[in-house]
Amino acid sequence: MSQSIQPKDWAPARGYSNGMLMDDGTLHVSGQIGWDKNKNLVKGGFIPQMEQALKNITDVVAAAGGEIRDIGRLTWFVRDKSEYAEKQKEVGQAYQRVFGKHFPAMSMVVITELIEDEAVVEIEATAYIKSKL
């Protein structure tokens, strides 16, 4: 069995779940882009979108009863590897504003497109929610 996870104040997901909490406590967070709870993409490019995507992940984890330290894996999908590389300092600062000093296992995949045309980054996560046990 599994339970669909949806933060209470978010616009509903259509055709997917923002998170799926499994009976063993594993939480799969679907790819999050830089849009707000009303599905409006934040302005300003890579850094604001990345930071919002990370905030979205923490919202889904919190809705499942977890916290940042429960996140064990992030997979990043970026459209422009050079932009990511050129903005490493800003990436680190934005990351730490959301995740602090928690650094789960991470992978990055460079892609040509995302479903939302103006999105430049999408991040998915896996967490383990101990309270589920």
DSSP line for 45-62: SHHHHHHHHHHHHHHHHH
pLDDT in tens, 18-61: 999 999 999 999 999 999 999 999 999 999 999 999 999 999 99
How many residues belong to the chain?
133
Q: Distance (Å, rounded) from C-alpha 32 to C-alpha 48?
A: 13
Q: Look-up: residue for tokens 């919002």?
A: 52
For the whole prediction, is pTM greater than 0.85?
A: yes
Q: Distance (Å, rounded) from C-alpha 40 to C-alpha 56?
A: 13
Average pLDDT over residues 87-108: 97
Which of 3.40.718.10, 3.40.50.1360, 3.40.50.2300, 3.30.1330.40 would CATH assign to domain 2-132? 3.30.1330.40
- pLDDT attached to residue 132: 56
Beta strands (DSSP E) in 64-104 are: 71-78
- pLDDT attached to residue 133: 46
Q: Look-up: residue for tokens 């809705």?
A: 63
What residue ranges do the domains of the chain occupy? Answer: 2-132
Q: Judge whether 32 and 50 are in contact, CB under 8 Å.
A: no
